[in-house]
Amino acid sequence: MTGTSTDVVVRIEGLHKSFGHLEVVKGVDLDVHRGEVVVVFGRSGSGKSTVLRCVNFIEDPTEGSIEVAGIRLGGGHRTRRKREQIRQLRLHVGMVFQQFNLFPNMTVLDNVTCAPRMAGKGSETEIAQRAKDLLDRVGLADKAREHPARLSGGQQQRVAIARALAMEPDVMLFDEPTSALDPELTGEVLSVMKTLSTEMHMTMMVVTHEMGFAREVADRMAFFHEGRILEEGPPSELIASPRYAETRAFLEAVL
């Protein structure tokens, strides 16, 4: 949380986002430092997903700016040049979705290798080797030739993590990665995410209501309320002694 601005990987400044007349994000500022894990939580509709999706410009910010790995961009009309800048920024960001979004028309291995191949990230053998290593890391080396539809939800989500990691991103975004899973499958995904932090020192922004994971892995937690960060702090403090009644009420509901 401390440190010079050089080890800031993601800087969200004055972010606002409206859908038509509905303002969903009403001024969010957040810095995420290298190696830091930030857990984002809050009620449904508080704007958590929207903020995450603004970070890699899947949603276009209405106001404010996003800086990732030194590339600073705002919202607005997507000219050809702007689209290319956004794509460059995205090359530094990995994203894991609630619904996995694996490509069903490709094998597991192709899911992991296709983006690095298109981006020309190394030779064909390097890409294949890295994919094998990553599948090994998420415990699915033996599923490389399968199609995603044949895997369980937990396995699919672990492939999705490997797919994002294959681009060697500076930061990983997780939008409720375990919410679509049966309870008995959440553990395998959470433990993979934990090793990303402990072994790879990956910078992560995680939207989740898994408070056990937050307590164990998060360096910092941010509570979203009505499009703003109501309070933030280390999990030990925030979970034990929240300052706001809204935070307390929410924690009581999920704990």
Partner 1 sequence: MSDTWERVQLASARIPFRIKTGAVWIALFAFLGFVGSSAGFDLQWIQDNMRYIAGGLRYTMYTALGGIALAVVMALLGALARISRNPVANGIAGFYVSFFRGTPLIVQMFLLYLALPPVGRNLAAKYDWLPEGFADWFLLDVMTAGIIALGLNYGAYMTEIFRAGIQSVAAGQGEAADALGMTYLQKMRKVVLPQALRVIIPPTGNEFIAMMKDTALVSFLGTTVDTMEIFRRAQLVGKHDFKNLEAYVAVALLYWALTVLFTYFQARLERRLGRGYDRSHVVKLAEASLRQRRAAGPA
Q: Which residues contribute to the site for partner 1 (CB under 8 A)? A: 56, 58, 83, 87-88, 90-91, 93-95, 97, 99, 101-106, 114-115, 118-119, 147, 149, 163-164, 167
Q: Binds 97, which of partner 1, ligand ATP, Mg ion, none (CB < 5 to 8 A, cut-off by type)?
A: partner 1
- 47-55, 89-97, 182-190, 237-245 -> range binding ligand ATP (CB under 6 A): 47-55
Cβ-proximal residues to 130 (8 Å cutoff; 6+ apart), any chain: 116, 122, 166
Q: Is the dihedral of CA 175, 176, 180, 183 positive or negative?
A: positive
Q: Name 198's Cβ contacts closer than 8 Å, sequence gap at least 6.
A: 217
Quick check: 19 binds ligand ATP (CB under 6 A)? yes
> What is the largest distance, in Å, between two alpha-carbon atoms of the chain?
55
Q: Answer whether 176's CB lies under 8 Å from 99's CB.
A: no
- Measured from the CB atom, the residue of 48 and 143 that comes closer to ligand ATP is 48
User: Between 50 and 155, whose beta carbon lies closer to Mg ion?
Assistant: 50
**CB-based contact 37:194 (threshold 8 Å):** no
Find out whether 89 and 57 touch, Cβ atoms under 8 Å.
Answer: yes
Q: By C-beta, is 179 or 191 nearer to partner 1?
A: 179
- Spatial separation of the C-alpha atoms in residues 9 and 69, rounded to whole Å: 5
Residue 50, interface with ligand ATP (CB under 6 A)? yes
Q: Which does 228 bind (CB under 5 to 8 A by kind): ligand ATP, Mg ion, partner 1, none?
A: none
User: Closest CB to Mg ion among 97 and 113?
Assistant: 97
206 DSSP β-pair partners: 39, 174
* Residue 46 contact, options ligand ATP, partner 1, Mg ion, none, Cβ 5-8 Å cut-off depending on partner type: ligand ATP
Distance CA 194, CA 87 (A): 28
Q: Based on the shown chain and the rule CB under 6 A, indicate whether residue 48 belongs to the binding site for ligand ATP.
A: yes
Nearer to Mg ion, 49 or 208 (CB): 49
Nearer to ligand ATP, 179 or 198 (CB): 179
> How far is C-alpha 52 from the chain's CA centre?
7
* Distance of alpha carbon 208 from alpha carbon 21, whole angstroms: 28
Q: Pick from 15, 24, 49, 188 the residue near Mg ion by CB under 5 A.
A: 49
Q: Residue 131 and residue 31: Cα distance in Å, rounded?
A: 30
In angstroms, give the least distance from the CB of 193 to Mg ion: 17
Q: Supply the DSSP symbol for 186.
A: H
24 binds, among partner 1, Mg ion, ligand ATP, none (CB under 5 to 8 A by kind): ligand ATP
By CB under 6 A, name the binding residues for ligand ATP. 19, 24, 44-50
Binding site for Mg ion (CB under 5 A): 49
